[in-house]
Every structure is written in structure tokens, then in C-alpha cells.
Amino acid sequence: MDARKLAQMIDHTLLAPEATMADVERLCAEAIDLQVGAICISPSHLPLTKGLLPSSIKTAAVVGFPSGAHNPVVKSREAQQACEHGANEIDMVVNLALVSSANWSAITDEVLAVRTAIPSGVILKVIIESALWSDEQIIAVCSAAVQGGADFVKTSTGFHKSGGASIANVQLMRKTVGETIGVKASGGIRTYADAIAMIDAGASRIGASASRIILAEAQ
């Protein structure tokens, strides 16, 4: 895959809690230089990006990040405010305790609450922390997220000790959601080979902070 096509599949990511204004400005400059499809940042950084990106580069904000343990009302308001501040994509973390307890209807409800709180044109990605779960749990949580209105299911926050994306889990997520729902692979994707392996497994988006390295290797 050539670098230009791959770049359009990348969410160039900065989620370090200590990231500064200068870091955000640098991320935006890199996004333009690399011609990525989107950036992914914390909601508090959204105002810093105003006027820094062309409309061709989307802005994703994380919600309920990184634990997912926030009340659905809080997640919904956080997502709504993120959109008011310029986000046109939302990456929300599912409540992991609901997965552990197999409360699939509650997962659908919280995803639906966020979906309802944001404009219909905003893409909603649901992070499931796939490295934590059995195949059966991955199938169930992905299905619940789609029932709630998810446009994408996403492997990982990149912050959980269980790990990030794996080829097997991306394959299973793609098989579960079919071809009409996106699959975003994130967490531990640091090379061109990593990115291509995830795309071959079924990923339609790549979340990465190492975008420059990945794309340099694609040349």
C-alpha cells in the first residue's frame, strides 16, 4: 500500500495526559505534512486546534478515557461538548465492568446515549479493550456497540496493561461487525508492517502516534 493511501487511514494520535499546547500544535503540523485522515486528541485540547487544520483532516476526541468507568450521562455530555468544540469524530471507551459482568444491554444503552447526544454526522467509535477479553466477549461487546449505534469498533486505548491490538482480535472484530461497520486498530502499532498486518486482518482505520515512522517506511 502506498504512503498516501495509508495516511488517509491513520488517526494521528496524541493522548499523553502531560501533552502541552506546543505538542498539540506540533501534532497538527505533522498531520498536515503527512496528509493523514484524522487526528485523535483529548477533549481539553480541542480549542487549541482551532484554525490549525484543513477540513480534509478530521478531528477525533476521546470520551470516557481511558478507563470507561464514567457514568453514561457524563460520557454523553463530554461527547456533546467535544462536538461543540470542533470534534467530528468521537472515540468512547466502553464501561469495562459491564463487559466483565456480561451486561450487554447496558453497553448498548450507554453507546446509544452517546450516539443520541452528538450530531448524526459525527462518527462514533467504541473502544472495547479487546486484549482483555475472550472471543465470546469480543463478539458480544462488538454486537452490543453496533446495536447502540456505533460506526466503528476499536481495539484499545493504548493505556491498559492488557495490551493493544492483535491480528486475531481485529479479524474477529471484522467478522463480527461485517463490512458496513468500521474497525479501528490501535495500541502498539509502530511500524509499516504492523499497520499493514492490521489492515490485512480487517482494520479500516489505524490509530497511531508513530505515524511519521509508519509512513516513512511505506515509501
What is the grid cell recorded at 129? 479493550
Measured between alpha carbons, how far is 169 from 189 in angstroms, rounded to an integer? 14
Q: What is the mean pLDDT of residues 126-153?
A: 98
Contacts of 205 (CB under 8 A, 6+ apart): 9, 10, 11, 37, 125, 152, 154, 182, 183, 184, 185
pLDDT of 219: 73
Model pLDDT for residues 171-217, shown as the tens digit of each residue:
999 999 999 999 999 999 999 999 999 999 999 999 999 999 999 99
Superfamily of structural domain 3-216: Aldolase class I (3.20.20.70)
Catalytic, out of 91, 125, 151, 194: 91
Reported pTM:
0.97
Angle between helices 192-201 and 167-177 (to 10 degrees): 30
Q: What is the mean pLDDT of residues 112-120?
A: 98
Mean pLDDT of the chain: 97
Measured between alpha carbons, how far is 56 from 177 in angstroms, rounded to an integer? 27
Catalytic, out of 11, 75, 154, 194: 154
Residue 26 burial (CB count, 10 A): 13
Q: Is 75 one of the catalytic residues?
A: no
pLDDT of 112: 98
Kindly list the domain boundaries of the chain, sorted by start residue.
3-216
